[in-house]
Amino acid sequence: MIRLRLDVSGGQAIRVPLGCEDSHYLVDVMRLKAGDSLEVLTRDNTVWSAVLEPNHMVRLQTELDRHNRLPRHVTLYQALLKGDHFGAVVDRATQAGVGRIVPIVTARCIVREVSLNKRARWSLLAKEAGEQSHRIDVPDIGDLASLDSLVPGGGAFGCVLDPRAAYDRPWLEPQHGPVELVVGPEGGLTPDEVSRLQSVGFRPISLGPRVYRAENAGAFATVLFLQ
C-alpha cells in the first residue's frame, strides 16, 4: 500500500488537494489512477485509508490503527558531515525509527553551515524514508545547534557515542522513555567535547568493538534502542 504524508488534520471524508510533487509521485511514478486506494499520514500523526480522486484530489476515509507507533522517542544530535552524508543519516535514521534529528556543529566538523536548500532536502528525505517504512510520525529536522548548547531533557536518557567508552549494554536499560543521542562527525568528537557532554549528563556509550561510518552509527544505535 502506498503511503503519503499530507500537511492536513485527519477527518472523515475530508478532501485534500495534492501539491504538484505529491500528484506527480502518485500518478506518474506509482501509476495510481482515480479510484485507487492509498494511505495518508496526517499532520496530527494519524493514518487514514484514502482514495485518489480526479483533478489531483485525495479523499480520506477511515482512520487506521496505531499499531506502528514507535515504542520510544529517540532524538539524534548528529554532527554535520561532508558531502551528502548527512542526508544519508536522515534517510537511514528515519528508517530505523528516530523521532527527531538535530544537526550540530562540533570541533572537527568540516561543514559548519546548513543552507535552506539542504534543510529542505533533509525534510524531504525524512518524509520519503518515513513513508517508505510505514511510519506514522516522520521525524522533524531541528535547527542547527552548537554542541555546547546540548543538555539532556528532563526524563530523557542522554548518551554520546564514543568508541573509547566501555563495550557493555546496560545503556539499553531502561527500555522505555525518551533517548537523546549525540553522534560526532567523521573524525569523531574530541575528548574535551565528550567530557563536556558527560559533565552535563550525557553518558558515553559504545556500540561494540566495531567502528561505524558516521552515516550508519546513529541508525544502528536507534535500531538497538527501539528493539
Residues near a second copy (CB under 8 A) are: 67-69, 92, 95-97, 129, 132-135, 169, 172, 208-213, 216, 219-220, 223-224, 226-227
Place of cell 525509527: 97
Only one residue has cell 561505524, namely 212
| Closest alpha carbon to 103 in 81, 83, 139, 78 | 78
* Complex with a second copy: residue 62 or 132, whichever CB lies closer: 132
Toward a second copy, which CB reaches closer, 15 or 164?
Answer: 164
CB of 210 to a second copy, least distance (A): 5
Return the number of the residue (180 or 215) whose C-beta is nearest a second copy.
215
Please report how close the Cβ of residue 220 comes to a second copy at its closest, in angstroms. 5
Q: Are 39 and 49 in contact (CB under 8 A)?
A: yes
The C-alpha cell at 216 is 550508519
Helices (H), 114-200: 116-132, 191-199
Q: CB of residue 156 vs a second copy: minimum separation in angstroms?
A: 22
Classify 155 in phi/psi space as left (phi over 0), alpha (psi -120 to 50) or beta. left
Q: How far is the CB of 226 from a second copy (least distance, A)?
A: 7
Task: Decide whether 151 or 172 has the Cβ nearer to a second copy.
Answer: 172
